[in-house]
Amino acid sequence: MNLGMFITPNHTVPPDDPAIAAPWHIVGALSDELTRRNRFVVSLFAPIGSKTTASLYDFSTPPTIRTASSLSKDAYQKKEADDEAVFFHRMMEVGKEKNIHLFHLHQALRMYPLILRAPKECLFLITLHDPMTGKKRDAVLELSTLSNCFFVSISNSQRSDVKADFAGTVYHGLDLGKFPFSASEAYGFSVFGRIIPVKGQDDAIEACKRVGAPLTIIGQAVRDTEENRTFWEKHILPQIDDSHIRYVPFIHRGDLPPYYQRTKAILMPIKWEEPFGLVMIEAMSSGTPVVAYNRGSVPEIIKDGVTGFIIDPDPSADGQVPGRTGKGTWVIKKQGVDGLVEAMGRIGEIDRLACRKHVEEHFTVETMATGYETIYEKILRGRSQIIS
């Protein structure tokens, strides 16, 4: 059976530029694992420089991101949409030639008019990689009116407020060989990710100061809006002393494992509905526990008291409402920064090997590929009814 794999051509697959681009990493890992299994013949549609064991169609097109520094924000967004549309149309031409009827897309925004003009016999499975809010939520609702479109969520929480038919949830998976386990004694705490208010680095700093533990902040300082710039310049930068609070700018994903292995725990005091969070499974694969606020996918990924601790956010601080999954049932009863502090003091209760085993059982690239194969086959079995 033939399968087309598509992601907007902003970046190569996997990304070769200094950007946090988790979907492009996932597409690369999934395409290679499906190709290895040989149940589907995979054609990957991605820009020049992409590396894959699948059949690659790059249409001699460089990644859109390479033009970002030379264009205004509006001009770049237009080019992004134009490049995406050209890639999609060329993909349809290849699909006709290669007899591809199922296309796995990793983008919902701007897809409706493209799919509307696609051949009737083509089926589209769309993995949603972002929180379903605003324009992205509207795009899913619009696409859900098309009988040849199906959706996959990357966590159950991601689709909790979206009234659309989902073919299933498939969690992200890792190539465990790239995130090796370490049982060695670790030192200090770390927080990973873009430095923006919803990632909660300010809460991590406060918690580490209270317990007198060092913190390493790893990620890009984002200054694209006044809010983000103020967060970095007033709440994060003044705290960095290269001793107790250390800052490490962006690190390529392949260089992350030693940073995971050397830390007692990853802190994730997030203040948004995180749809998945690769950091959590990358850390646990390395044997590192995760302490995170109960937001988004967190309770689906962390096994409370076994692979880390789940903390209910302080409702007075982030506008939480009662009723969040698992609220009040966690090992740590304190909320917000108080909860982080208690969890950090109890991190020695977590067995690092249990963290690794949890990922081996639930979040491998093999498990992810099996989940998608099951959905592909389900869609293809019902194809005659869909296009009749």
Q: What is the CA radius of gyration of the chain?
A: 21
In the chain, which ranges are continuous DSSP H helix? 22-37, 73-98, 112-116, 134-143, 201-211, 226-230, 257-261, 278-285, 298-301, 315-318, 336-345, 352-362, 365-381, 383-387
What CATH topology corresponds to 176-362? Rossmann fold (3.40.50)
Provide the β-strand partners of residue 375: none
Q: Contact, 325 vs 302, CB < 8 A?
A: no
Q: In angstroms, rounded to a whole number, what is the distance separating the alpha carbons of residues 302 and 129? A: 19
Q: Which residues neighbour 100 within 8 Å (Cβ) at sequence distance 6 or greater?
A: 2, 3, 4, 43, 94, 122
Q: Which residues neighbour 139 within 8 Å (Cβ) at sequence distance 6 or greater?
A: 108, 109, 110, 111, 112
Same fold, 2-173+364-387 and 176-362: yes
How do the pLDDT tens digits run along the chain, 388 residues long? Answer: 999 999 999 999 999 876 778 999 999 999 999 999 999 999 999 999 999 999 999 999 999 999 988 999 899 999 999 999 999 999 999 999 999 989 999 999 999 999 999 998 999 999 999 999 999 999 999 999 999 999 999 999 999 888 888 999 999 999 999 999 999 888 899 999 999 999 999 999 999 999 999 999 999 999 889 999 999 999 999 999 988 999 998 888 888 999 999 999 999 999 999 999 999 999 999 999 999 999 999 999 999 999 999 999 987 765 444 446 677 789 999 999 999 999 999 999 999 999 999 999 999 999 999 999 999 999 998 864 443 3
- Given CATH 3.30.565.10, say whether it is the number of domain 2-173+364-387: no
Q: Contact, 162 vs 141, CB < 8 A?
A: yes
Q: Please identify which residue in the block is written with the tokens 């007198």.
A: 212
Q: In angstroms, rounded to a whole number, what is the distance separating the alpha carbons of residues 386 and 388? A: 6
Q: In angstroms, rounded to a whole number, what is the distance separating the alpha carbons of residues 202 and 30? A: 35
Hey, where are the domains in the chain? 2-173+364-387, 176-362
In 10 A of CB 39, how many CB atoms? Answer: 14
